[in-house]
Structure 1
């Protein structure tokens, strides 16, 4: 069997973790968004904003999501960091910053 590593094109924005929750995770557990918000201990509006990609998943919410779905906080924090970093790389002008070389 040939192992293949799926790589995202650097020009493509990583998926917001809220989209993963909205499209894959919450439908798989067959629970309402209201119930998920209650189980997470967050408001329905806060969860809605995450699912609509209007708010990031904070480390605190990542811990709650990781516990609720059993996959730990790390994956949610890494997804959010990848999303945030990609957007920063698209918008921050670093052309005036030199790159230092280690002697």
Structure 2
């Protein structure tokens, strides 16, 4: 298994979606209609200018048959890489391990 270069930005999910759609004989206008989003919204995703939301991820995952998790993980990786470089959190203290354990609670859906 190869290790990803941490200095290289993860691929935006829109780029992967664009590659996936190239192999389909369906127009982007039709894809947007199927996904229930505007054509402009779809183009924004494909160009990496818009994020893939949970709702859009569910729709893309259904369309392509690979579920929403892949698309959400791709977007989360992309977002995390950028926020780690763009946001200064140096003034925020890190809690001690014992305090972290007390903050964790079980959640159910």
The TM-score, its normalising length taken from structure 1, stands at: 0.87
Distance 2:97 2:39 in 1: 50
2:54 pairs with 1:59: yes
2:15 pairs with 1:19: yes
Deviates more, 1:55-64 or 1:7-16: 7-16
Distance 1:43 1:57 in 2: 13
Query: How large is the Cα RMSD of the aligned pairs?
Result: 1.3
Q: What are structure 2's unaligned runs of at least 5 residues?
A: 99-109
For residue 67 of structure 2, give the secondary structure of its aligned residue in structure 1: coil
The TM-score, its normalising length taken from structure 2, stands at: 0.83
Report how many aligned residue pairs link the two structures.
Answer: 98
Tell me how far 1:27 sits from its aligned partner.
0.8
Q: What are structure 1's unaligned runs of at least 5 residues?
A: none
2:48 pairs with 1:72: no
For residue 21 of structure 1, give the secondary structure of its aligned residue in structure 2: helix
